[in-house]
Amino acid sequence: MKILVTGGAGYIGSFAAKRLIGDGHMVIVFDNLERGHRESIVPQAKFIKGDLRSVSDVENLFSIDSFDAIMHFAGYISVEESSRNPDLYYENNVVGSKNLFDIAVGLGKVNKIIFSSTAAVYGNPVEIPIPEDHPKNPVSPYGKTKLETEEYLITLNKSNPSVGFVSLRYFNASGAALDGSMGEDHDPETHIIPLAIKSLISGSEFNLYGTDYDTSDGTCIRDYIHVIDLVEAHIIALKELDKNSKASFYNVGTGKGVSNKEVIDMIEEVSGKKLKINKENRRSGDADRLIADPSKINKELNFRPKYSDLKTIVESAWKWHTKQI
């Protein structure tokens, strides 16, 4: 297949592009390099620099090529940043996505879309683990932009039934290539594992937000999915869309929760170093527990994570970050 990967210079998009190339697909990466990295783009992919917020950039993209499918990773991802600058997130995550979908479908250039969504569409959970039909009450502008994009895809599918999509709601993407050759490099970085590892490497203090949660050790609990497993979910979804044009939503997680303290303990075990911890108050809106119910993707797509145990996640991340020194 000929696959368009938006955001293919970013963390998950670069892993997906490499896997698609390895599977024999032709890959075109579309990225503005604002937060992605040119060196992260797999060399065998064709790279087109452009911005989804620019109608002319997107029109030029589709005037050149047609695609069998789009994997849409291009989006801002920080809950905290989205609260400070909601307009920025709306323009990039919603307007950019609408430009992409409208032009691609309007020109008849694609009929399969896989969308990078998030568990943030659920908001504070009323049910744990969280199923796909859980109420959608996002508490951050980030979560709201992803939910609005999902709703737009539903509308698009209803008016164009031949256009199928799968929206994958990530829980906590994490880890790196098992050999440490690729990894997570966000700016700004907001994720606990890279932040803690960078603090260890630099000898600086690590800010731990919240030790008074209603959990066994007082720190919040999250569901971590290794980036390699996350990409596998996209590959399986692509195969499913190739057989059956439909509109589907799936959680991508393990169904198991890990506390922040357990994450820190594992990082210290893998590194052999002790982290300097600065305990801060919990952040507004952070839930005690966010754990996926992955039974739908397990059953319907036969998806089973292979690398998402905490030790493998941390070991791979440690290899990546120590290679960057």
Catalytic residue IDs? 142
- Give the DSSP H or E segment for 249: strand 247-252
The residue among 65, 52, 141 whose CA lies nearest residue 102 is: 52
Written as six digits, the tokens of 278 are 């600065």
| DSSP-based helix, strand, coil % in the chain, nearest 5 | 40, 20, 40
Buried b vs exposed e over 172-189: b needs ≥16 C-beta within 10 Å?
Answer: bbbbbbeebebbbbeeee
Beta strands 112-118; 164-170: pairing state: parallel
Written as six digits, the tokens of 309 are 């145990």
Q: Is 46 left (phi over 0), alpha (psi -120 to 50) or beta?
A: beta
Rounded CA-CA distance 232/235 in Å is: 5
Rounded CA-CA distance 261/209 in Å is: 11
The residue among 171, 118, 124, 123 whose CA lies nearest residue 149 is: 118
Buried b vs exposed e over 101-127: b needs ≥16 C-beta within 10 Å?
Answer: bebbbeeebbbbbbbbbbbbbbbebee
Q: How many residues does the chain have?
A: 325
φ, ψ (nearest 5 deg) of residue 47: -110, 130
